[in-house]
Structure 1
Amino acid sequence: MNIAAALDILREKGYKFTGKRAKMLEIFVEENRYLSAKNAFQFMRDDYPNLSVDTIYRNIKLFEKLDILESTEIKGETRYRYKCSKDHHHQIICTDCGTVQKIEMCPMEAVSTTPEGFTITHHKFEIYGYCEDCKP
């Protein structure tokens, strides 16, 4: 998905296109990593000096609801990233800078049984650690 596709989703669902929303999407695409709401606020405050953190949170939640952003928790803080694709995949996430690398296999292939009466509808698998640049 690109920024134009995300803005199309906003319009299709009846939400306004605003400069702030476009800028937020641009930041998430350009950074291509998990960011906190605070990070997004810091990237935007020079362009929008009167911006509130509440506006950031409201838009992040909207983007998440519309399946534009995805989230994870790193060190007790929710972080967000532009939804990379609709294809099934898993990832390794740096707990310092939030960069992501795709894992080329699915761990569910190793699951041979599920509890009786339980139907799996979806799953998420993430591995956390440090990328080469952030390694302590």
Structure 2
Amino acid sequence: MLVIETERWLELLEEKGGRITGPRKAIVELMVKADHALSPVDVFDQARSKYPKMGLVTVYRTLEILSELGLVERVHQQDGCHMYLRAANGHEHLLICSRCGKAAYFSGDDLSVLIDRISSESGFVIQSHWLQLQGICQKCQPKKFQTPIE
């Protein structure tokens, strides 16, 4: 499955006008299989193990193209920096662990009532929304905060 998805991403990247180089392929492979948000420096460090001469600019440019294609999305951090994560299928919202970067998607169909109220109160016509919640995943939580599974 990951091989097929990687090939599809590379085809889309090439259609967008991007050359498929070894470093770009390594970046795509990392992003396809990532289960947590990665900073450009994280991607750079991991991909350089395969391509030591890769430049950080290549990572930034490739992530930007993948973002434009809707294959990855930016994850906003409290410090103002961005991390990147494989985009969700359909309309889902993002939950990010603030310690390890693990990501989970959730649907938010019940947000329509809130959006309608905000639109009514503000006079805005809401065209789109983006929701990202941050918290601490179960693995990163201290044991005393974890609830046992019965």
TM-score (norm 1): 0.87
Maintained 8 Å contact 1:75/1:95: no
Q: Deviations over 1:63-120 (max 9, x none)?
A: 11222210012231210011232x111121111221112223335223233122x221
- Structure number having the greater helix percentage: 2
- Asked whether the equivalents of residues 73 and 87 of structure 2 are also in contact (C-alpha less than 8 Å), the reply is yes
Alignment of 1:14-29 (within 5 A): 14-29=17-32
Which structure has the greater CA radius of gyration?
A: 2
1:50 partner SS? coil
Give the Cα–Cα distance (whole angstroms) in 1 for the partners of residues 129 and 19 of structure 2.
32
Runs of 4+ in structure 1 off by over 3 angstroms are none
RMSD: 1.8
TM-aligned CA distance change 1:134 to 1:125, over 3 Å? same
Q: Is 1:128 aligned with 2:131? A: no
Give the whole-Å Cα distance in 1 for the aligned partners of 2:75 and 2:13: 22
Cα pair 2:24 2:58 within 8 Å, conserved:
no
Q: SS of the residue aligned with 1:2?
A: helix
The answer to whether residue 104 in structure 2 is matched with residue 98 in structure 1 is no
| Residue number in structure 1 paired with 2:46 | 43
Asked whether 1:2 is paired with 2:5, we answer yes
CA gap of 1:62–1:33, structure 2 versus 1, over 3 A, is same
In 1, Cα distance between equivalents of 2:135 and 2:100: 10
Cα distance in 1 for residues equivalent to 2:95 and 2:127:
22
**Quick one: percent identity of the two aligned structures?**
26
Which protein, 1 or 2, shows the higher relative CO under an 8 Å CA cutoff with sep ≥ 6? 1
Return the alpha-carbon distance in structure 1 between the equivalents of residues 139 and 129 of structure 2: 29
